[in-house]
Amino acid sequence: MVKQKTNNLLSTDIANLNITIDNYDVLKDINIKIAPKEITGIIGPNGAGKSTLLKAILGEIKYSGTITFIDKEHNIKKDTVIGYVPQFLDFDKGIPIRVVDFLMLSLTKAPICFYSSAKKRAKIVESLKLTEAENLIDKKIGVLSGGELQRVLLSFALHPEPDLLLLDEPVANIDENGISLFYKIVAELRDKLNLSIILVSHDLDTLITHSDKIAFLNKKIEYYGTPDKIFENDNFKKVFGKRI
């Protein structure tokens, strides 16, 4: 059973972050401070560096500047756990992997056949309950709908239990009902687990509805603040017009 966190409220301080690839400035002078339990939406045109920023936070790409995680006692947290949900999972849908087998990979690096006990299965069921996907446990990954797969990936991202959750266009291939369910679950997880969340999306209405803050990113931060003020930003209006 996943218990609510009380001591690991995390803030994230991204300061003077720069990323250059092949002498090309991908991101320049990024400064964002994400408060505990805050959902920060990131929007920007194609090529703005949104996914690159997530890769930097994950430690998958070199950068200059600092990304600092700070715990409830205002100490730097060096063992921060980050969960990640991608836009899609690239895999052969013909491979007969069940949801339970896939999620077992988040619990152990040993061969799955060594961990088919009832205890391990029960732990996976509890994880899937958090994302309203427990009924999918014995389904094959390849037959899941877009919304079902994203909820399974969200369950996977919860092991080990994260302090920070990154969502990269997580509902791009989901229908309207699936989108509503996904974000309802995300909001519940934020409250249950005291998660800070960074949400990348091309859909401004989604970000306005589900984010505490919005960052308009176009290689640099053009706007960072509450959702209701983004339409007052001149650079945003130049790129997107009054509304997307």
Backbone angles phi, psi at 213, to 5 degrees: -135, 155
Task: Answer yes or no: is pLDDT of 105 > 70.
Answer: yes
Can you tell me the distance from the alpha carbon of 76 to that of 145, in angstroms, rounded to the nearest whole number?
A: 40
The pTM (predicted TM-score) of the whole model is 0.89
* pLDDT tens sequence across 53-94: 999 999 999 999 999 999 988 899 988 999 999 987 777 777
pLDDT of residue 3: 46
Amino acid found at 154 = L
CA distances from 32 to 13, 17, 35, 63, 113 (A): 6, 9, 10, 15, 44
Q: With contact defined as beta carbons under 8 Å apart, do 150 and 174 qualify? A: yes
Whether residue 211 contacts residue 39, with contact meaning beta carbons closer than 8 Å, is answered with: yes
